Amino acid sequence: MFLQQLLNGLTTGSVYALIALGYTMIYGILGLINFAQGEIYMCGAFVAVLLLATGKVNFYLAFAAGMVAAALLGVALERVAFRPLRGAHPLVPLISAIGASIFLQSLALLLFGPNDRPFPIQFTFSTITVAGLPLSTLQGAILAAALGLMGLLMVFVRYTRYGKAIVACALDRDTARLMGINVDRMVALTFFIGSALSGAAGVMMAIYYNATYPRMGLLPGLKAFSAAILGGVGNIPGAILGGLLLGVAESLGAAYVSSGYKDAIAFAILIGVLLLRPQGILKGRGD
């Protein structure tokens, strides 16, 4: 039972971690919270679900399309709601992002209606026993995919030219420009990558809970933000750790404390972290 809950928590936690990476990367480079991250997640899920519902697209292609659509939405969002406001008081882009978030949510509501959509294809998932632990292959697949994407991101940031350039912009924008790095392009690239990860998270959750709906981004967005704070906002390994910890805490809390207030657990953790250690578990910005 305990191990099962732990596994459930790791599964949802790995998805929170993917969204938290988007928050943390964008915060790292712009010093701003992208309030519409949850809507980008929702967009990824909808694009994949709608494509699959046509019956003409295979699963992997739909998954990739969800990620790309989310990434493009992120880039567009940066152009419209963030870039024109660079240099203004930090309240201004914050409120503008809130506006964008509401806009996207209500646009989805108008286009797709308020009801849950089931995931269009039925997977047959079995339960296998690994070391005496019943493991659903669905959870295994989500966990593997999420960890794989995180690994790719770490490799990208640490070992590629553009990854290092993004970190350089986050650390010291002017000096990065002196290296010939185009900061605007790096910001766009950051939004692209962070949003693609959120889009992937959206598709995974659409499968896991078998539900896609316009407001689906609100709670995961809030929880992922808490995860990013927990790990130290701006810190990439911190966001991953924070997401996993939060998922586990939520799952154990729901099982052993109260299931009615499951969604409140992340929030309680957020307040606790802000009170006790606002810089998060792993400090710092940048890499």
Which residues in this chain contact other proteins in the complex, by CB under 8 A? 32-33, 35, 80-81, 84-85, 87-96, 98-107, 109-110, 161, 164-165, 167-168, 171-172, 174-182, 218-219, 222, 225-226, 229, 260-261, 263-264, 266-267, 270-271, 274-275, 278, 284, 286-287
CB of 112 to other proteins, least distance (A): 13
Q: Which is nearer to other proteins, 143 or 189 (CB)?
A: 189
Q: Which is nearer to other proteins, 45 or 181 (CB)?
A: 181
- How far is Cα 43 from Cα 66, in angstroms, rounded to an integer? 7
CB of 284 to other proteins, least distance (A): 7
Q: Which is nearer to other proteins, 64 or 85 (CB)?
A: 85
Burial of 129 (0-12, 13-18, 19+ CB in 10 A): exposed
CB of 97 to other proteins, least distance (A): 8
CB of 205 to other proteins, least distance (A): 17
Please answer whether residues 249 and 263 qualify as being in contact, where contact means their C-beta atoms are separated by less than 8 angstroms.
no
Q: Sign of the CA dihedral 231, 193, 69, 31? A: positive
Residues near 265 by Cβ (< 8 Å), separated by ≥ 6? 249, 250, 253, 254, 257
Q: Sign of the CA dihedral 44, 120, 8, 155? A: negative
Q: Which is nearer to other proteins, 207 or 216 (CB)?
A: 216
If you compute the radius of gyration of the chain from its CA atoms, what whole number of angstroms results?
A: 18
Q: Which is nearer to other proteins, 24 or 139 (CB)?
A: 24
Find how far residue 242's CA is from the centre of its chain. 12
- How far is Cα 98 from Cα 176, in angstroms, rounded to an integer? 30
CB of 233 to other proteins, least distance (A): 9
Please answer whether residues 13 and 246 qualify as being in contact, where contact means their C-beta atoms are separated by less than 8 angstroms.
yes
Find how far residue 101's CA is from the centre of its chain. 15
Q: Which is nearer to other proteins, 125 or 172 (CB)?
A: 172
CB of 89 to other proteins, least distance (A): 5
Q: 195-234 burial, b if ≥16 CB within 10 A, otherwise e?
A: bbbbbbbbbbbbbbeebbbbebbbebbbbbbbbbbbbbbb
CB of 96 to other proteins, least distance (A): 4
Rounded to the nearest 5 degrees, what angle is found at the Cα of 26, between the Cα atoms of 156 and 45?
Answer: 80
Q: Which is nearer to other proteins, 8 or 101 (CB)?
A: 101
CB of 185 to other proteins, least distance (A): 9
Q: Which is nearer to other proteins, 116 or 184 (CB)?
A: 184
